[in-house]
Structure 1
């Protein structure tokens, strides 16, 4: 009898403790208090030095985003690339500030409902100070029509909880590596440009010069609207296609070239080389990257003939 009484006492104590816990959680909820973690990444954006991720459906293809000499770079497939700095900083900020909106599941059996299983999710590893790291598994993306807010489902590795976090985090890491690369050819202010030298074959070269706030083409007044349009397009120039297959040993004799000079502006050269696939564009502002000159009519937008700047006869 004493053993039965002892077991009954233990059961009563357990039930009471469970009830106390439940009441405590209800009180927290009624007060608006969170019953789950406040942060996903527990260090600041400035402390994040490296991020690796494994795209969904290609778990063996690691992409690494890392900082070197204050600049973000990419590594994948044994190759290194210059990263889009604004995009890289945006990713780091997004990761550092993600906060769980709500807990949607706390059992491993429910992971599949949110695509956060090891096979269905996108694995992201965030490296912080003193060799610390946080491993995440990003699941599916959803959009709430009522609140008009996007959400991503995620879990922290080795934990059962699945959280909904506001934002496009799932889409951020669904890009291929080319979507994260530096596509800049030239970036500047059109008002700072004072001279552009066009180096073309034979005797077709010419120079645009700004004198007394007026543009001249080889000394002749230009069509101001057409010239302004060219300068506007030029000053945020990006490439749409990469030519990683281009043999850089052939980058010795450009067929076309422009040199951009101006106020508070280091000279920037943009050159076009010819190979069997067409024109290949390279800029001193992004020296390690070669672009397809045919993609988006890039070469036609950069290397205009002299007649394009002169008033129509």
Structure 2
């Protein structure tokens, strides 16, 4: 009896799958037989320039390029300011976009471009270059979520079955073609349309030049300034011995700092300052203009990466009082 029920259940599931497959074949959009394997196809190492044109006319193009064929730099159209780009962000963008494989053709009708947000004004244009040669030129349209009918049918048969409920996809068009393709994934998360998205956020790196610090000179308002200096194996503040564990915790806490939010202008006045000297004689200065609402902080290591510290997270890590290092009596 149980065997007959299992055979009947399997037959029902098989029948459902056949029906779904037949429906997909019948309703498949025209032209899928000629659908290319890849919409884009280039080696990531080829690309040395990327231009991102956000939606609308108010936002300038974002331009990423390899300066002297070495490090990635980000700037904006008609701007004379250049910033170091985050190489991992650029690398991930190239990896995502260099081999785009279509799921299906959404339309071959130009009149329907607006429906998928792939017109020149509604979509985000992303162009990849090797010098003056265009490697790919895409219009990124809207995101969509398609529930799998197969999964829905299977879940009805067995509610405990784990099944992918659907597919996330983005509509994409080659700028010089009519076809609109659906590509798996949420491409808008890969293609950022803000310059800050691509900037290197490194604010201070102890390993860059200092090797290991041997002196911290804290300059604070009033008479609260002090110098923390390493003498032999012992850290001292003047004639007082500092707690080695507290010093180690402080050093580890500021060893690698990153900007959360960038500031546009340098601080007009400096209220707090720390000069850090390394064992190799190299010195780095971190300065701040404290404000209860938001504090501006800058580092001589990365002078272009001005931090707008609204939560005072960086400030509280860097600018600490003398009592932070002294042993409790």
The answer for the alignment partner of 1:123 in structure 2 is 125
Q: Is the 8 A contact 1:123 1:135 kept in 2?
A: yes
The answer for the alignment partner of 1:187 in structure 2 is 205
The answer for the alignment partner of 1:241 in structure 2 is 261
Within 1, Cα distance between the matches of 2:146 and 2:206? Answer: 39
Q: Is the 8 A contact 2:276 2:285 kept in 1?
A: yes
Matched, 1:261 2:292: no
Matched, 1:199 2:218: yes
Deviations 1:255-281 (A, max 9, x none): 412315368x96543233579x97532
Within 1, Cα distance between the matches of 2:35 and 2:327? Answer: 68
Partner SS, residue 305 of structure 2: strand
Match of 1:292 among 308, 317, 325: 308
Q: Is the 8 A contact 2:294 2:312 kept in 1?
A: no
Deviations 1:42-74 (A, max 9, x none): 321111111111212346521111111312222
* Post-superposition offset of 1:122: 0.8
Match of 1:86 among 85, 88, 106: 88
Within 1, Cα distance between the matches of 2:274 and 2:61? Answer: 37
The answer for the alignment partner of 1:95 in structure 2 is 97
* Post-superposition offset of 1:229: 4.2
Q: Is the 8 A contact 2:273 2:288 kept in 1?
A: yes
Q: Work out the number of aligned pairs and report it.
A: 277
Worse-superposed segment, 138-147 or 110-119: 138-147
Q: Is the 8 A contact 1:258 1:303 kept in 2?
A: no
Within 2, Cα distance between the matches of 1:268 and 1:215? Answer: 19
The answer for the alignment partner of 2:19 in structure 1 is none
* Post-superposition offset of 1:217: 5.2
Partner SS, residue 94 of structure 2: helix
* Post-superposition offset of 1:102: 2.9
TM-score by length of 2: 0.69
Q: Is the 8 A contact 2:263 2:308 kept in 1?
A: yes
Q: Is the 8 A contact 2:42 2:135 kept in 1?
A: no
Q: Is the 8 A contact 1:38 1:100 kept in 2?
A: yes
Q: Is the 8 A contact 1:41 1:95 kept in 2?
A: yes
Q: Is the 8 A contact 2:48 2:65 kept in 1?
A: yes
Q: Is the 8 A contact 1:184 1:285 kept in 2?
A: no
Q: Is the 8 A contact 1:55 1:173 kept in 2?
A: no
* Post-superposition offset of 1:291: 2.0
Within 1, Cα distance between the matches of 2:100 and 2:231? Answer: 49
Partner SS, residue 88 of structure 2: helix
Within 2, Cα distance between the matches of 1:227 and 1:102? Answer: 59
The answer for the alignment partner of 1:72 in structure 2 is 72
Structure 2: unaligned runs, 5 residues or longer: 1-24, 148-163
The answer for the alignment partner of 2:44 in structure 1 is 45
TM-score by length of 1: 0.72
Worse-superposed segment, 278-287 or 121-130: 278-287
